[in-house]
Amino acid sequence: MVKAADRAKNPARSSVWLETRTSRSGGGPAGLDRDRIVAAAIRMLDEEGLAKLSMRKLAAELNVTAMSLYWYVDTKDDIIEYAVDTVYGEIDLAAVDAAGDWRDRMRVLALDYRRMLVRHPWMSPCAGYYLNIGPHAIAVGGKIQETIRDTGLPMDRQPSAMSAVFQFVYGYGTIQSQFESRAAQAGMSQNEFYGESIKAFRDDPQFMEALEPMTDLLDERASHGSVTEIWDRDFDYALDVLVAGIEVMVARESAAGTGT
C-alpha cells in the first residue's frame, strides 16, 4: 500500500499512474470493482465537491465497508486521479477527428473541454494539482498537440499557442462552473442570481461613479434574457479571436521566414 506520507516525500513523482500496486491476497467484495468506485466518486464530487469526499462516505454510498475500497485503491488521491482521467474521456475525440481542418478541430476540442469543466466543477483544481497522465488525458493532450501542429506555426511557437487557447478555455470553464455552483447554492437560477447581483451593486450609491465607464457594457449584458446565451456568445467570439490571432501569427512567421 502506498501511504500518503510516502507520496509527500516526492510529490513531483506521486501519481497512481506511476506506481506499481501491490497485489492483494484473496478477493475483494462481490460486485465491487474500481470502475464502480470511480463512478460513485464522480457522482459524489459533482453533487458535493472535493471537500466532502471521503473514503467513509464513498463506502457508505456503495454499501460496503471503508476497508473494502482498499482492495482497489491505496488512497483517496488514487480515486480522484482515476476520476479526473475518467471525465477527460468525456471529450469526444472521434468528433474532433471528423471536424476537418485545424480551426474546426480546435473549436470542437475547446467546446468539449469547456463543457466537461462546467459539468464537473471539482475538475478545475484537480487538473492543476494532479499529474494528468492517465490514458484519456494523454489522448486529449495528443489531439490538442496535433491540432496546434497543423496550424503551421513553428515548433517553438506551438506551446504558446496551445496555452493561449486552452488556458483560456480552462479559465472560462472554471469561472462558468463556479458561477453555476454559486447560483445553485443560493437556490436561484443563473439568470436570477446574475440579475440580482448586478442590481445589488448598480443600485448602491458608492459604486455609481466607479461604474460610470462600464454603463454601456452592463446595459448590453442586461439586454440578454439568458445568462447561458451570454456564456455561449462570449465564448464563441473569444475563440474566434484566438483562431484569427493564430492565423495572423502563422502569416507573420511565414513572412519572416521568406524575408518579405
CB 21 within 8 A of CB 74: yes
Q: Round the average pLDDT of the chain to a whole number and report it.
A: 89
pLDDT score at 136: 98
Give the burial class of 7: count Cβ atoms within 10 A of its Cβ; 0-12 exposed, 13-18 middle, 19 or more buried: middle
pLDDT score at 238: 97
* Segments of the chain assigned to CATH 1.10.357.10: 92-185+224-258
Q: How far is CA 169 from CA 7, 88, 109, 173, in A?
A: 31, 14, 10, 6
pLDDT score at 163: 96
pLDDT score at 213: 86
Please check the confidence at residue 123 and state whether its pLDDT lies above 90.
Answer: yes
**Mean pLDDT throughout 110-132?**
95
* Segments of the chain assigned to CATH 1.10.10.60: 4-87
Residue 8 in 3-state DSSP? helix
| Among 71, 77, 16, CA closest to 41 | 77
How does residue 251 score in pLDDT terms, banded at 50, 70 and 90?
very high
Of the listed ranges 8-12, 59-63, 245-249, the least confidently predicted one is 8-12
- All three cell numbers of 153, joined, read 506555426
How far apart CA 106 and CA 166 sit, in angstroms, is 9
Task: Transcribe 56-68 into DSSP letters.
Answer: HHHHHHHTS-HHH
How far apart CA 64 and CA 120 sit, in angstroms, is 25
**Mean pLDDT throughout 176-200?**
91
CATH topology of domain 4-87: Arc Repressor Mutant, subunit A (1.10.10)
**Mean pLDDT throughout 22-30?**
60
Q: Does domain 92-185+224-258 have CATH number 3.40.50.1820?
A: no
Does residue 20 or residue 71 have the better pLDDT? Answer: 71
**Mean pLDDT throughout 73-90?**
95
How does residue 186 score in pLDDT terms, banded at 50, 70 and 90?
very high
Give the burial class of 96: count Cβ atoms within 10 A of its Cβ; 0-12 exposed, 13-18 middle, 19 or more buried: buried
**Mean pLDDT throughout 103-108?**
98
pLDDT score at 13: 62
In our burial notation (b when 16+ CB lie closer than 10 A, e otherwise), range 170-202 reads bebbbebbebbeebeeeeeebbebbeeeeeeee
pLDDT score at 1: 46
How does residue 115 score in pLDDT terms, banded at 50, 70 and 90?
very high
**Mean pLDDT throughout 171-184?**
95
Residue pLDDT, tens place only, 205-236: 888 888 888 888 888 877 776 888 899 999 99
How far apart CA 138 and CA 145 sit, in angstroms, is 10
- All three cell numbers of 231, joined, read 456564456
Please check the confidence at residue 118 and state whether its pLDDT lies above 50.
Answer: yes
DSSP state for residue 24 in the 8-state scheme? P
CB 228 within 8 A of CB 190: yes
Q: How far is CA 74 from CA 20, 203, 213, 251, in A?
A: 11, 53, 55, 51
Please check the confidence at residue 237 and state whether its pLDDT lies above 90.
Answer: yes
**Mean pLDDT throughout 175-184?**
94
pLDDT score at 27: 59
* Amino acid of residue 216: D
- Percent of residues in the chain assigned helix, strand, coil, to nearest 5: 75, 0, 25
Whole-model pTM? 0.87
**Mean pLDDT throughout 109-114?**
98
**Mean pLDDT throughout 26-39?**
82
Residue pLDDT, tens place only, 159-176: 999 999 999 999 999 999
CB 190 within 8 A of CB 179: yes
